[in-house]
């Protein structure tokens, strides 16, 4: 079979990253392998996101730029997938004559057939069909990047929560869970390929299986925990309203489950939470945080926030800052509210001025910046085990405490802190020997978004016994 080159550009969340891998996996049997550049590709797929207006604009401006590349190479197939594709459907074909294919979030498994048709007859196709159940659940483990030690595995799709600001239920459809056996099968495939850590994905993993009467999410975690050769488990996202005792308990019980939970709160004010349709109160959220810390005292907690939700007053915004002070998060993502035409909040009154949104965003980020700094500094002098992800890129040694002549590596701790580290001179020559191992690091310093330290050779399993290593005298 003739080999053809495929370039996939992904904008958006981890689900889209997972989907991009699935796309590569389902198109591989047609002869498509990864292209390094768009210019060399036979097909370009733009995997889009529409969570905020900016993400949608980014997708369209990227697509616009492809028109030129297509005119230089008319046989190029241009395809648009993901959430903008689902939202806009055939309007994209109308607006962009250089686009050949628009496929929605439920159409990935129909891609091979559509691509074959385009290859043979150069027709233009739109498939934004959605269904309430998962029609094709066979595990597809697409190609891994060189040295990739961590992979995403989607356990469910869609969302039934209808937060009033959010487009996801409209572009990803109804919540539907994959069968646990298929999930376990896929994780085993990944482990066989060398993956040591999986992140289980869903918009609200805690309601996993409830609709279909499958096992609970905590039970699924128990099964994943039993997979030999898998080192670590992460998951995201957990909706606070559904965070139950059974799931909280897994943090004290399952040795492979990382000590980190992403628990988006969005706002610290009860009235705003109500209008967002989040269905929990500030008090209920804080109780869950307490329960998590009782079961797992060193658990890292991160969150998402929206500032400038319609009608948000200064007092309500202060309640959000106060919540951040109370929880003392390990990290957070904050966004300015953005109208999504399909989401009800787009029609809410009391829209907040862009300048005020910016001001609030900055105040929130400044506060968290201070907390992160304090929390990072408290880690200095402590030892943390990390999963080594590979040599660091783009870190020039300046201010890192790591000599420029030493190879700088990075990995993540169980609490999801990125830690850069140096290996004592001469100890290790080959990156393959360290990538994917667990190593103990003495933390020696901090950056704004990461930490740095030193490998403790005697305390770590990271130094292989065999292979080309030379130990410094």
Residues that bind ligand SF4 (CB under 6 A): 159, 161-163, 166, 168-169, 203-204, 239
Q: How far is the CB of 186 from ligand SF4 (least distance, A)?
A: 22
**What CA–CA distances, in Å, run from 205 to 177, 212, 244, 292?**
9, 14, 11, 16
Q: How far is the CB of 404 from ligand F3S (least distance, A)?
A: 38
Q: How far is the CB of 278 from ligand SF4 (least distance, A)?
A: 7
Q: Are 334 and 361 in contact (CB under 8 A)?
A: yes
Binding segment for ligand SAH among 2-10, 145-153, 330-338, 401-409 (CB under 6 A)?
Answer: 330-338
15, interface contact from ligand SAH, ligand F3S, ligand SF4, none, CB < 5-8 Å by kind: ligand F3S
The DSSP string of 395-462 is ---TTTSS-TTSPEEEEEETT--EEEEEPPTTS---HHHHTT-EEEEEEEEE-SS-EEEEE-GGG-S-
Residue 323 interacting with ligand SAH (CB under 6 A):
no
Residue 237 interacting with ligand SAH (CB under 6 A):
yes
49, interface contact from ligand F3S, ligand SAH, ligand SF4, none, CB < 5-8 Å by kind: ligand F3S
SS3 content of the chain, % helix, strand, coil (to 5): 35, 20, 40
Residue 338 interacting with ligand SAH (CB under 6 A):
yes
Q: How far is the CB of 240 from ligand SF4 (least distance, A)?
A: 10
Residue 48 interacting with ligand SAH (CB under 6 A):
no
Instruction: Give the Cα-Cα-Cα angle 372, 374, 375 (nearest 5 degrees).
Output: 65
83, interface contact from ligand SAH, ligand F3S, ligand SF4, none, CB < 5-8 Å by kind: ligand F3S
Which regions of 82-118 does DSSP assign to beta strands (E)? 101-103
Tokens of 309: 């939700």
Facing residues of 260 across strands? 300
Q: How far is the CB of 200 from ligand F3S (least distance, A)?
A: 16
Nearer to ligand SF4, 24 or 85 (CB): 85
Residue 340 interacting with ligand SAH (CB under 6 A):
yes
Quick one: angle between helices 217-225 and 180-192, nearest 10? 30
Q: How far is the CB of 15 from ligand F3S (least distance, A)?
A: 5
Q: Are 312 and 271 in contact (CB under 8 A)?
A: no
Considering only 152, 337, 409, 421, the residue that binds ligand SAH (CB under 6 A) is 337
Q: How far is the CB of 187 from ligand SAH (least distance, A)?
A: 22
Nearer to ligand SF4, 163 or 272 (CB): 163
Torsion of CA 462, 465, 470, 473, to 10 degrees: 80
Nearer to ligand F3S, 265 or 319 (CB): 265
**What CA–CA distances, in Å, run from 146 to 28, 133, 395, 456?**
17, 34, 20, 26
Helices (H) and strands (E) in the chain, counts: 14, 19
Q: How far is the CB of 268 from ligand SAH (least distance, A)?
A: 13
Q: How far is the CB of 164 from ligand SF4 (least distance, A)?
A: 9
Q: How far apart are CA 440 and CA 443, in angstroms?
A: 9
| Phi-psi sector, 134: left (phi>0), alpha (psi -120 to 50), beta | beta
The DSSP string of 294-314 is HH-TT-EEEEEEEES-TT--H
Binding segment for ligand SAH among 108-116, 318-326, 335-343, 461-469 (CB under 6 A)?
Answer: 335-343
Tokens of 188: 């085993």
Q: Which residues bind ligand F3S (CB under 6 A)?
A: 12-13, 15-16, 49-51, 82-83, 167-168, 171-172
Residue 52 interacting with ligand SAH (CB under 6 A):
yes
Q: How far is the CB of 471 from ligand SF4 (least distance, A)?
A: 50
DSSP H or E run through 455: strand 451-455
Closest CA to 386 of 459, 313, 317: 459
Considering only 106, 170, 178, 239, the residue that binds ligand SAH (CB under 6 A) is 239
Closest CA to 46 of 74, 95, 84: 84
Residue 306 interacting with ligand SAH (CB under 6 A):
yes
**What CA–CA distances, in Å, run from 288 to 194, 272, 416, 456?**
35, 19, 20, 36
52, interface contact from ligand SAH, ligand SF4, ligand F3S, none, CB < 5-8 Å by kind: ligand SAH
Q: Which residues bind ligand SAH (CB under 6 A)?
A: 51-52, 165-166, 168, 203, 237, 239, 264, 266, 304, 306, 335, 337-338, 340
């Amino acid at each position: 079979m003739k080999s053809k080159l495929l370039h996939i550009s992904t904008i958006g969340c981890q689900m889209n990253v997972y989907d991009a891998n699935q796309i590569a996996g389902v198109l591989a049997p047609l002869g498509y392998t990864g292209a390094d550049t768009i210019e060399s590709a036979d097909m370009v797929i733009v995997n889009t996101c529409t969570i905020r207006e900016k993400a949608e604009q980014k997708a369209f401006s990227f697509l616009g730029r492809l028109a030129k590349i297509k005119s230089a190479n008319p046989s190029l197939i241009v395809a648009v997938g993901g959430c903008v594709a689902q939202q806009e459907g055939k309007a994209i074909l109308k607006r962009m004559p250089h686009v050949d294919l628009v496929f929605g979030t439920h159409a990935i498994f129909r891609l091979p057939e559509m691509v074959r048709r385009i290859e043979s007859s150069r027709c233009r196709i739109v498939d934004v069909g959605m269904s309430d159940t998962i029609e094709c659940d066979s595990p597809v483990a697409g190609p891994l990047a060189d040295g990739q030690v961590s992979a995403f595995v989607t356990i469910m799709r869609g969302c039934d929560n209808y937060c009033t600001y959010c487009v996801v239920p409209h572009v990803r459809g109804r919540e539907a869970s994959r069968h646990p056996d298929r999930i376990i099968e896929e994780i085993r495939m990944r482990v066989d390929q060398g993956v040591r850590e999986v992140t289980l994905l869903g918009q609200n993993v805690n309601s996993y299986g409830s609709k279909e009467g499958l096992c609970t999410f905590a039970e699924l975690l128990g099964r994943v925990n039993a997979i030999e050769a898998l080192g670590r488990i992460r998951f995201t996202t957990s909706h606070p309203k559904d965070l139950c005792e059974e799931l909280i308990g897994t943090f004290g019980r399952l040795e492979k489950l990382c000590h980190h939970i992403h628990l988006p709160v969005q706002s610290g004010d009860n009235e705003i939470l109500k209008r967002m349709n989040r269905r929990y109160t500030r008090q209920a959220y804080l109780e869950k945080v307490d329960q998590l810390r009782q079961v797992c005292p060193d658990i890292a907690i991160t969150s998402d926030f929206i500032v400038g939700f319609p009608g948000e007053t200064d007092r309500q915004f202060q309640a959000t800052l106060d919540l951040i002070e109370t929880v003392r998060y390990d990290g957070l993502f904050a966004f300015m509210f953005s109208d999504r035409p399909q989401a009800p909040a787009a029609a809410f009154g009391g829209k907040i001025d862009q300048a005020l949104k910016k001001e609030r965003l900055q105040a929130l980020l400044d506060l968290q910046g201070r907390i992160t700094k304090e929390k990072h500094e408290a880690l200095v002098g402590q030892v943390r085990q990390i999963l080594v992800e590979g040599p660091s890129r783009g870190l020039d040694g300046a201010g890192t405490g790591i000599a420029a002549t030493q190879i700088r590596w990075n990995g993540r701790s169980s609490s999801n802190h990125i830690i850069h580290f140096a290996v004592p001179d001469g100890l290790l020559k080959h990156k393959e020997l360290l990538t994917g191992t667990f190593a103990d690091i003495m933390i020696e310093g901090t950056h704004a978004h990461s930490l740095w330290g030193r490998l403790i050779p005697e305390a770590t399993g990271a130094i292989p016994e065999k292979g080309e290593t030379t130990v410094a005298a």
